[in-house]
Amino acid sequence: QVQLVESGGGLVQAGGSLRLSCAASGRTFSSYAMGWFRQAPGKEREFVGVISWSGDSTAYADSVKDRFTISRDNAKNTVYLQMNSLKPEDTAVYYCALERPGTRWYSLHPTSYAYWGQGTQVTVSS
């Protein structure tokens, strides 16, 4: 069993930055890719980005490319989402997720992820 806990959300002005963290329990964390998703009110959960188990590969949604960066520290069982140049449309609840065993690199679909955190709210004011 894996538990994921996000932190670091909050209120920020447009153009500002936030760094989200996702702490994982369980020995399997370092063996799997980790994704970040977000969900705004009234919208479906959408893919933000993903990092491979080793941290050597990442992929991002076009909407956040060149603004957001995902990294991980397997020694600390933690994955990070650095968000720069934030826009009001980035406002959402952000979730980290651990991929299902056997998932090919990489998946944008929430169904490809087996474990989810509870989410952390990010609000960007204009």
* pLDDT tens, residue by residue, 3-52: 999 999 999 999 999 999 999 998 788 899 999 999 999 999 999 999 99
pLDDT above 90 as % of the chain: 89
Cβ neighbours of residue 121 under 8 Å, at least 6 residues apart? Answer: 9, 10, 92, 93, 94
Model pLDDT, residue 27: 73
Model pLDDT, residue 104: 87
CB-CB contact of 122 with 14 (8 Å): no
* Whole-number average pLDDT of the chain: 95
Closest CA relative to residue 45, chosen from 98, 111, 104, 89 = 111
pLDDT band, very low/low/confident/very high, at 101 (cuts 50, 70, 90) = confident
Model pLDDT, residue 29: 85
**pLDDT over 90 (residue 106):** no
Model pLDDT, residue 26: 80
Model pLDDT, residue 102: 86
